[in-house]
Amino acid sequence: MDFDLSEEQQLLKDSVGRLLADHSSFEQRQANRREAEGWSRALWAKYAELGILGLSFEEKHGGLSAGPVETMVVMEALGRALALEPYLATVVLAGGLIRHAGSDAQKSTLVPKIADGSLTLALAHGERQARYELADVATTAKKDGDVWVIDGEKGVVLHGDSADKLIVSARISGSRRDRDGIGLFLVDANASGIVRRGYPTVDGLRAAEIAFTGVRVKADAALGTPGKAFAAIERVVDEAIAALAAESIGVMSVMHEATVEYLKTRKQFGTTIGAFQVLQHRSVDMLIALEQARSMAYYATMMAAEPDAAERRKAMAAAKVQIGRSGKFVGQQAIQLHGGIGMTDEYKVGHYFKRMTMIDTLFGPADHHLRALAATEGLVEA
């Protein structure tokens, strides 16, 4: 049991932190939102230079063979910077599926391009009727000779508008919520039959609604065995939850630090407002919420590579509840303790609150995961 970062991990943390401090201040971030794709290609190239785009892929495919702790370090830093870039979409989600389901040949062609920043990806999995049920896939893939024909609609595809390629899930057999019978296919985002409607999300990032109409892909576009993709999807979503937990820590830390700083500078009634005990206690409550969330982010990181899916799912459900609840409390109180300033679009805290709020909805909010955990034997084993 050792919570210290190794020398290399510390180096990674320092260098990502420095990169983002230099190139993604809050002002720069707001400017980057106005770029054509809603994020900065230039910054993305710097991520590539630093090596964080290839971080979790195996060395033999062009990655760095790093584990969940390194992903946590990067995600926390991205959270602190409120980064706009499609790291979650490309590296964690789509990249994760390539890692877990891809063939050696697929990895050898794709990983170097992900790592050098020339290929961005998005995971087109969620559908409107599915809400947070991962097995709910109505989009279909039908075999026609040696091609697959994909039809259906995917919703809120993170960074789906700017992605070069999409990994789309589609049903090959079974009924809509069956775990069995789901396939994953790698398609060119501009392939004929694909219509993408991109939009900004409330946290300042981007997503897309994507319609697939008779989209034809070759057999070798399948990731893993068609029909057997569910385990990989579940696993990658769990990894994404661990990553989001780490991102949340960055987001919450900034909100808390900004609040405490404000309590020390803002004066009313002839004194700094931090002299008021009710605000002291509130900021301590925020700290406790943050530290509890940090602990669960560590726990999620520890469990991200757990092969026993049921145990892993429980851990991620618990982490998602904790970060959802902590994040909501820290965010709401950060706004409250700033007073009117907290309400302004110009000030950074509101933007962190919005990101935190969207992180809660991603892959299911706290209530959803509480229900999921409550349906199991729980965390305290008999």
Partner 1 sequence: MDLRFTPEEIAFRDEVRAFFKTSVPEVVRRKMTEGHHLAKEDFVSWQRILNKRGWATPNWSPEWGGTGWSPVQQYFFLDEMQQAPAPPPLQFGVSMLGPVLIAFGNEKQKKHFLPRIANLDDWWCQGFSEPGAGSDLASLRTSAKRDGDHYVVNGQKTWTTLAQHADWIFCLVRTDPAAKKQEGISFLLIDMKSKGVTVRPIITIDGGHEVNEVFFDDVRVPVENLVGQENKGWDYAKFLLGNERVGIARVGVTKERIRRLKHLARGERDGDRPMIEDQGFRERLASVEIELKALEMTQLRVVASEKNRKDKKPDPASSILKIKGSELQQAVTELAMELVGPYAMPAPDELDEGSNEPPIGPDWAETVAPVYFNWRKISIYGGSNEIQKNIIAKAILGL
Binding residues vs partner 1 (CB under 8 A): 1-6, 9, 69, 260, 263-264, 274-275, 277, 280-281, 283-285, 287-288, 291-296, 298-299, 301-302, 318, 321-322, 370-371, 373-375, 378-380, 382
Nearer to partner 1, 105 or 382 (CB): 382
The phi and psi torsions of 141 (rounded to 5 degrees) equal: -130, 120
Burial class (CB in 10 A: 0-12, 13-18, 19+), 220: exposed
Alpha carbons 72 and 294: distance in angstroms, whole number:
11
d(CA 201, CA 208): 9
How many other CB atoms sit within 10 Å of the CB of residue 42? 10
Contacts by residues 48-54 (CB-CB < 8 Å, ≥ 24 positions apart): 48/115, 48/116, 48/117, 50/15, 50/16, 50/19, 51/115, 52/12, 52/16, 52/87, 52/91, 53/87, 53/90, 53/91, 53/114, 53/115, 53/116, 53/117, 54/111, 54/112, 54/114, 54/115, 54/116
CB of residue 251 vs partner 1: minimum separation in angstroms? 17
Smallest separation (angstroms) from partner 1 to the CB of 272: 9
- Residue 159 phi/psi, 5-degree rounding, is 55, 25
The least CB distance from residue 329 to partner 1, in Å, is 12
Residue placing its CB nearer to partner 1 in the complex, 240 or 263: 263
Asked whether 150 and 217 are in contact (CB, 8 A), the reply is yes
- Min CB(186)–partner 1 separation in Å: 33
Smallest separation, CB 271 to partner 1 (Å): 12
Nearer to partner 1, 161 or 247 (CB): 247
Contacts with 9 (C-beta within 8 Å, 6 or more apart), sequence order: 69, 70, 73
| 163: its two tokens | 């992605």
- Nearer to partner 1 by C-beta: 75 or 98? 75
Cβ distance to partner 1 smaller for residue 190 or 376: 376
Looking at residue 364, the DSSP 8-state letter turns out to be -
- Considering beta carbons, is residue 355 or 369 the nearer one to partner 1? 369
Among 167, 73, 77, 170, CA closest to 120 = 167
Residue 48's nearest CA partner among 134, 124, 112, 3 is 112
Task: Give me the least distance between CB of 197 and partner 1, in Å please.
Answer: 37
CB of 100 to partner 1, least distance (A): 21
Q: Pick between residue 318 and residue 330 the one whose CB is nearest to partner 1.
A: 318
Kindly tell me which of 15 and 140 has the beta carbon lying closer to partner 1.
15
Q: Give the nearest distance from C-beta 182 to partner 1 in angstroms.
A: 28
The distance of closest approach from Cβ of residue 176 to partner 1 in the complex, given in angstroms and rounded to an integer, is: 25
- Judge whether 238 and 316 are in contact, CB under 8 Å: yes
Nearer Cβ to partner 1, position 62 or 365? 365
Q: What letter does residue 6 receive in the DSSP assignment?
A: P
Two tokens, residue 81: 């910077």
